Amino acid sequence: MAIIIDIAEAVKEELNGGTFSQAFTAERHYQPVFELKDMKTLHVTVVPKEIEMQLATRNTSQHDCGVDVAIQKKLESVDLAEIDELMGFVEEIIAFISRRKLASVPGALWIKTANEPIYAAEHMEQFRQFTSILTLTYRVLV
């Protein structure tokens, strides 16, 4: 299987094995797009995003693999408390995954996590849905 898929699967497994303030089952997809009626429950979706390859040594390539984690939920209202709770949940995931070794891809080294956007304003406006995207970058030498 492709290294990016291995990493996405490993991230999904790690998230599903963690303990968080909100219940969810992470899934791997190529697009985190769902019917709005199904978004009343929290969705955490792992999506392979990008690979950047470069020479590491004469015989080794460095692969920096980016994996997105989408956190999505239809809001009951556009209430600060509800949104604040989801923003706190996003930070829980960041704290959990940062510096974490992936059990099923032990050679992958966590490099960074970006949270952009911290929330998608257009999703809140158009769909009354919270959407936050984390991009996790792992380095693998091949």
Model pLDDT for residues 27-85, shown as the tens digit of each residue? 999 988 888 889 999 999 999 999 999 888 888 889 999 999 999 999 988 789 999 99
| Model pLDDT, residue 77 | 81
φ, ψ (nearest 5 deg) of residue 35: -70, 135
Fold (topology level) of 7-141: STM4215-like (3.30.2000)
Residue written as token pair 């949104």: 83
CA dist 46 and 99 (Å) reads 18
State whether residue 7 is helix, strand or coil: helix
List beta partners, residue 73.
130
CB 16 within 8 A of CB 25: yes
CA dist 111 and 123 (Å) reads 29
SS3 annotation, 66-88: EEEEEEEEECCCCCHHHHHHHHH
Domain ranges of the chain: 7-141
| Model pLDDT, residue 86 | 96
CA 121 to chain centre: 18
Give the pLDDT confidence of 89-113 residue by residue, as tens digits: 999 999 999 999 999 999 999 999 9
